[in-house]
Amino acid sequence: MQILLIHSDFIEYETKKSTPVAEKIDDDLKKGRMEEVLAVFVAVEKSDEDKPEYAASQTVAEIKKVTEQVKTNRVMLYPYAHLSSSLSSPKTAIETLKKIEELLKEAQFEVKRAPFGWYKSFTIKCKGHPLSELSRTIRIGEEKCVMVLKEKEKEEVVSEALKSEAKATSYWHILTPEGELLKPEEFDFKGHDNLKKFVNYEIHKSRAVDKIPPHVELMRRLELADYEPGSDSGNMRFYPKGRLMKSLIENYVLEETAKMGAMEVETPLMYDMNHPTLKKYLDRFPARQYSIEADKKQLFLRFAACFGQFLMNHDMTISYRNLPLRMVELTRYSFRKEQSGELVGLRRLRAFTMPDMHSLCKDMDEAVEQFNEQYNMCINVLSKIGINLSDFEVAIRFTRDFYEENRDFIVGLVKTVNKPVLIELWDQRFFYFVLKFEFNYIDAMDKASALSTVQIDVENAERYGIKYIDSTGAEKRPFILHCSPSGAIERCIYALLEKANMNSEKGIVPMFPVWLSPTQVRVIPVAGKHMEYAKKVAGELNGRVDIDDREETVGKKIRDAGKEWIPYVAVVGDEEINSGNITVTVRSESLPNKPSNIKMSVGELNERISKEISDFPFKRHPLAVKLTERPRFV
RNA sequence: GCCGUCGUGGCUUAGCUCGGUAAAGCGGCUGAUUCGUAAUCAGCAGAUCAAGGGUUCAAAUCCCUUCGACGGCUCCA
C-alpha cells in the first residue's frame, strides 16, 4: 500500500470517462469537494492482496496519526494508481478502499471517496506547512515505515531521526538580551531585518526571491572552486587559490581548538553499517548516507567525525582528572547524500570539510560551562574568518526541561551577542541533544545556512559505552559536546563570497580578509625596463606577492588586479626607482572605479600587512610569481 | 526525489518563434606598441551546438529520454 497525504484547503474532482475497471457509481458521486481536508491518495498493491483487511487497518492507523497532527477529521480518499508500479487487482483495490472508508466512518471521520477506475480531473490546494505533504508505505508484516526508491527498486532505510523530526512539535520564540521571551508575532522586528528573514525561513519556510546565487559565479571567476562533472553532484573541485583559502581556514580553526586543549586525531572515512553501535547511531542522526559495498561488507561514508572519535573514546581509559577531554578532527570529507534538488554551489554539498570537536564532560554543570566557552570561541572564529556578529543570526534550541533548569544561562548567551535570537523549544527530547545553538548566515536570497554549532549530547556516551572513572573509583557516563567552530569550511567561503557580493551592491569594494587573500600584494612594473626593480621590490615584500609581468598597459593590469580582489597593488616605474618608494593602491580604502593610491616605502607596506596577518596561519602562494607563467583554470 | 526553467568555442552570450553555410565580445596565440592607475591596436586559431534517440531531403532549431546547473517544493544533526 502506498499512500500520499496532503493537508489541503480543499480538493475537488469530477469524473470524465470510465475505464474498463471502473466501479459503478451513482450520479452524485461523479463530482465531489471537501474543504479543510486531508486528501489521501491511495495505491493498493500486489503485496496487499494476501491480507487486504490488515492493509486497510494499518492505513487507517496512519491516517489517524496524521489527522491528529494536522487537526482535521475530514478525509478524502482518492484512488491513485501512479503511486505504485506493482498494483493489486482492481477488485482487491475497490474492496480495500471501501474497507478503509468504512473503518474511517466508524472512527467518526467525515469521509468521501472518489470513485475507482475513472479518469477524473481534480484540483487541490495544498496548505504547504511542514506536515502538509507526507507519504507512507505500508507493508504486511513490517512495523517500520520505509520509503521506496523507485529507480533502484531497493528499500532505503530512513533513519528514525528523520521520521521523529516529522513528529517533533516545535515552539518558536524570540528571546531578547533583556530576557524577554516573546512569540514571533509579538516581537517587533524593526531593525532586525535578518532575524526576521531567518525566522521566516525557519518557521514558514517561505522565500520570495528568485536570483541565481552570486557566490557560484564568484567561486569560478576567482578560480577558487568549480563543479566536477566527473564526480557526483555536490562534490567540488578546488583550484589552487581555493585550496589555499580552505587550507588557511582549516589550519586556523584547528589552531584555535588546540589553544582550547583539543587533541587532533584522524579517523576512518568509512564504517561498517552493521556494526551494532553505529547502526543504532545512524538511526538517531537525520542524514542520508553514501553507501558502498566492499567484499561482503556494507559500508557507509561518515557524515561527521563522531563515529571514529566515539569508537576511540570507547577504548580509552579516562579518569575524571582528564576531563573535560577534547578531541578534534578536520573531516575532509564529511559526506551527506543530500537530496539533489537541495544542492547549491558551495552552500550545500554532498562532500564537505568540517572541523568536528567533541568534549567529554563529567556532569551537566561542566557541559554547560564548556558550552559557554565554545559559544564564545565560535563567535571569535567566525569574526576572524570575516563573518561578524552582524552577519549571522543566532538560533538556540532546547528541551523544555533544560530551559526550566537553565533559564539564566540561556539568557546569558543572548546577552553575549547582545541581540535577539530565535528560540526553538521542544516538549520532549526528539534528538540526542538537550541544547544546541547555531550561527546562521543569511544570504541575499534570504536563505539561512548554519555555520558554527555546539550541542550537548546526553545519549551517545551510553550508546558507545564511553565511560570515565570518578574520584571514588566508580564508572560514570560523561556528557558529550559536539562542536564545529566554523561549520563547513566550504560554507564559510560561500558566506564570504555572498557577503562580498552584498557589499559590492552597497557600493563597498568587495574583498577577503588580507590573511585569506590568495595574492596579498601585486607588483606592477610600468614597462619592461622596470621588471628588474619590480623583482627587487617583490623580494623585499612580506606576504604572498606576485608580479604582473604581462605586456599590458598599467590601466589594464590595475583593473585585472582589482578583479582578483587583491588588497595591495604596488606600481613601480621611473618615479619609484628615483624616489625609492612604491605607489600602492589600497583596496580597502578604494571606492568603486576610484582607486585609492598611497605613496609609501616597502617597509611601511610590510608593516601594514604584518599587522593584518600576524595572528593567522600563513602559506606561500601556490601559483608562479610571474603572471605569464601561470595557467588559467577556468 | 517532485515540478519548472535553462544547457551553443576556455568564459559570457546571439542564432531556436518560422528547420537550410553557427555569429560576436572576453580570454588564448602571433605581431605592433614600452606605455603612470579600473579594458592599447591588428591578425590567427578555437564549436561533433550537454549526451543519446526520433521526425525530416535537411535539426543548434521540432519531439522523446538521460545527465547537469539554477529556481520552487520537500529536506537541512
Q: What predicted TM-score, i.e. pTM, was given to this entire model?
A: 0.78
CA distance A236 to A304: 18
Domain A514-629 is found in CATH 3.40.50.800? yes
Confirm whether residue A314 is marked as ligand binding.
no
Residue A160 approaches strand B within 7 Å at CB: no
Residue A528 approaches strand B within 7 Å at CB: yes
**What sign results for the dihedral spanned by CA atoms A474, A475, A479, A483?**
positive
Strand B, CB < 7 A, residues 177-206 of A: 201, 205-206
- A300 CA, B46 C1': separation in Å? 44
Quick one: pLDDT at residue A481? 97
CA distance A482 to A499: 27
Residue A573 approaches strand B within 7 Å at CB: yes
Chain position carrying cell 538517531:
A284
Q: Which residues, other chains included, contact A440 with Cβ-Cβ below 8 Å and sequence gap of 6+? A: A198, A392, A393, A394, A395, A448, A449, A450, A451
**Which nucleotide is the nearest neighbour of A453, by CA and C1'?**
B77
- Start-end of H helices in A418-530: 460-464, 489-505
Regions of chain A with pLDDT less than 70: 84-86, 128-133, 139-168, 204-212, 284-287
Quick one: pLDDT at residue A151? 23
- A228 CA, B58 C1': separation in Å? 37
Mean pLDDT of chain A: 87
Quick one: pLDDT at residue A147? 28
A197-232+262-269+302-497: what fold?
BirA Bifunctional Protein; domain 2 (3.30.930)
- A356 CA, B63 C1': separation in Å? 51
- A231 CA, B52 C1': separation in Å? 20
Residue A169 approaches strand B within 7 Å at CB: no
**Which nucleotide is the nearest neighbour of A130, by CA and C1'?**
B74
Residue A162 approaches strand B within 7 Å at CB: yes
**Which nucleotide is the nearest neighbour of A213, by CA and C1'?**
B70
Strand B, CB < 7 A, residues 231-270 of A: 232-234
- Cell (9 digits) for A563: 578583479
Could you state, in order of their start, the residue ranges of all structural domains in chain A?
2-155, 197-232+262-269+302-497, 514-629
Confirm whether residue A306 is marked as ligand binding.
yes
- A220 CA, B55 C1': separation in Å? 39
- A150 CA, B53 C1': separation in Å? 24
For chain A, what's the residue count?
634
Quick one: pLDDT at residue A286? 60
Quick one: pLDDT at residue A209? 41
- Are the beta carbons of A74 and A37 closer than 8 angstroms? yes
- Cell (9 digits) for A17: 470517462
Give all strands (DSSP E) within A344-458, no chain letters: 351-361, 392-399, 421-426, 433-442, 448-457
- A246 CA, B63 C1': separation in Å? 46
- A580 CA, B31 C1': separation in Å? 35
Strand B, CB < 7 A, residues 297-326 of A: 303-304
Architecture of domain A2-155: 3-Layer(bba) Sandwich (3.50)
Identity of residue A311:
L
CA distance A518 to A149: 44
Burial class (CB in 10 A: 0-12, 13-18, 19+), A487: buried
Quick one: pLDDT at residue A167? 57
- Nearest amino-acid residue to B34, taking CA and C1': A527
Residue A45 approaches strand B within 7 Å at CB: no
Q: Which residues, other chains included, contact A406 with Cβ-Cβ below 8 Å and sequence gap of 6+? A: A368, A398, A435
CA distance A504 to A511: 9
- Cell (9 digits) for A454: 555546539
CA angle A163/A165/A171 to nearest 5° reads 155
Confirm whether residue A378 is marked as ligand binding.
no
Cα separation values, A201 from A133, A206, A208, A213, A516, Å: 18, 6, 11, 17, 30
- A625 CA, B60 C1': separation in Å? 42
Quick one: pLDDT at residue A145? 30
Residue A165 approaches strand B within 7 Å at CB: yes
Q: Which ipTM value was assigned to this complex?
A: 0.91
**What sign results for the dihedral spanned by CA atoms A237, A239, A242, A245?**
positive
Residue A166 approaches strand B within 7 Å at CB: yes
pLDDT in tens, A312-326: 999 999 999 999 999
Write out which nucleotides of chain B lie closer than 7 A to a protein Cβ.
Answer: 1-3, 10-11, 27-28, 32-40, 68-77
**Which nucleotide is the nearest neighbour of A334, by CA and C1'?**
B77
- Cell (9 digits) for A615: 595572528
- A86 CA, B2 C1': separation in Å? 20
- A623 CA, B31 C1': separation in Å? 28
Quick one: pLDDT at residue A594? 84
Strand B, CB < 7 A, residues 474-513 of A: 482, 484, 509
Residue A152 approaches strand B within 7 Å at CB: no
